[in-house]
Amino acid sequence: MLKTRIFPEHNYKAIHLNGKTLRIALDPKKPIGDLEYPEFYDIKVTSYCEGECPWCYQNSVKTAKHDNSIIQKFISFFDGMTDNQKPFQIAFGGGEPTTHPLFLDLMLKCYDMGIVPNYTTNGMWSSHSQEVIDKIIKVTKEYCGGVAVSTHPHLKNHWERATELYLENDIFTNLHIIIGNRKSVDDFLEVYEKYKGRVKYFVLLPLTAQGRATEAHVDWDYFQSNIEGSPADIAFGANFHPYLTKDPSRFKVSLYAPEIMSKYLDLETMHVYKSSFSTEPLNI
């Protein structure tokens, strides 16, 4: 379905078709401005996760309780928006969003509102019953734009099994990889060799000192020297912006100022942030 959004006051027009967004600066001599109504929302569904990653920047835990009013909250937030104000897409995350009992209903509601749902997962759902697996795959295949699978090394059995299930079902699949020290770069190169040509994008995210992660060294030099050229299937998360702008010709990527196209909504608190890494809520 073709959708367009236009905000002349932010010098912005965008067209969304088949999962791809084309952005146009109405006055090409000026930059696109910070969007009050972003084209993309990240939404936190739950703080619950059994992944126990020591570097979890969300500090997600398996003692967290699910909020059972997320559907009503979701509707109250987006229902009053015009089609021009609604985002093209939403990425649901957490915690682990698939653990929420209302997760699949939430994706269906999102789809019904004309917004493409996507989600990020650690893949642990793939170890559940066949019934759970079948339901998740069915709804994902029919209604979702795509999925991002986090490739945490200690959860390898889970995320690899989930990735295979998505690929077998022709679901648009990206892999998320956290880049920090040399070992993480070596792990990425192994993942890259194995899944190159099979998944759409390898989305790299720099380790960030937030939540349970206390140390955030990114060995950018080691990373750069181990990647040949600028592979079209490697994408960088917004927090890589400071690294990429050091040498803008090294990787061929569009360097928008981070966070002008998206916002982050915590469905538990209903606070909106510039991104999931911000600690100060916006006044919305």
Cβ pair 36, 8 in contact under 8 A: no
Residues in the chain: 284
Looking at residues 259 to 278 of the shown chain, list those that interact with ligand SF4 (rule: CB under 6 A): none
Distances in Å between the alpha carbon of 21 and those of 121, 133, 166, 214, 256?
23, 30, 23, 35, 14
Least spacing, CB of residue 178 vs ligand SF4, in Å:
8
Q: How far apart are CA 168 and CA 10, in angstroms?
A: 41
Our finding on whether 95 is near ligand SF4 (CB under 6 A) is yes
Non-local CB neighbours of 38 within 8 Å, separated by 6+ positions: 87, 260, 261, 262, 263
Least spacing, CB of residue 47 vs ligand SF4, in Å:
9
Cβ pair 50, 273 in contact under 8 A: no
What is the x/- site pattern for ligand SF4, positions 13-52, by CB under 6 A? ------------------------------------x-xx
Comparison of 53 and 90: residue with beta carbon closer to ligand SF4: 53
Cβ pair 146, 172 in contact under 8 A: yes
Our finding on whether 151 is near ligand SF4 (CB under 6 A) is no
Our finding on whether 184 is near ligand SF4 (CB under 6 A) is no
Our finding on whether 180 is near ligand SF4 (CB under 6 A) is no
Nearest one of 85, 148, 146, 139 to 113, comparing CA atoms: 85
Our finding on whether 53 is near ligand SF4 (CB under 6 A) is yes
Comparison of 61 and 139: residue with beta carbon closer to ligand SF4: 61
How many CA within 13 A on the CB side of residue 193? 6
Among 96, 187, 259, 268, binds ligand SF4 (CB under 6 A): 96
Give the residue carrying structure tokens 């981070």.
Answer: 258
Nearest one of 78, 75, 160, 85 to 121, comparing CA atoms: 160
Determine the size of the site formed for ligand SF4 (CB under 6 A).
Answer: 13
Comparison of 85 and 208: residue with beta carbon closer to ligand SF4: 208
Q: Strand (E) positions, 183-270?
A: 202-206, 234-236, 262-266
Q: What is the DSSP letter of 129?
A: -
Return the number of other C-beta atoms located less than 10 Å from residue 154's C-beta.
10
Non-local CB neighbours of 225 within 8 Å, separated by 6+ positions: none
Q: Give the binding range for ligand SF4 (CB under 6 A) out of 88-96, 164-172, 236-244, 269-277.
A: 88-96
Comparison of 211 and 281: residue with beta carbon closer to ligand SF4: 211
Q: Give the binding range for ligand SF4 (CB under 6 A) out of 32-40, 90-98, 110-118, 229-237.
A: 90-98
Our finding on whether 56 is near ligand SF4 (CB under 6 A) is yes
Our finding on whether 163 is near ligand SF4 (CB under 6 A) is no
Looking at residues 102 to 131 of the shown chain, list those that interact with ligand SF4 (rule: CB under 6 A): 122
Our finding on whether 91 is near ligand SF4 (CB under 6 A) is no
Question: Residues in the site for ligand SF4, rule: CB under 6 A?
Answer: 49, 51-53, 56, 58, 60, 94-96, 122, 150, 152
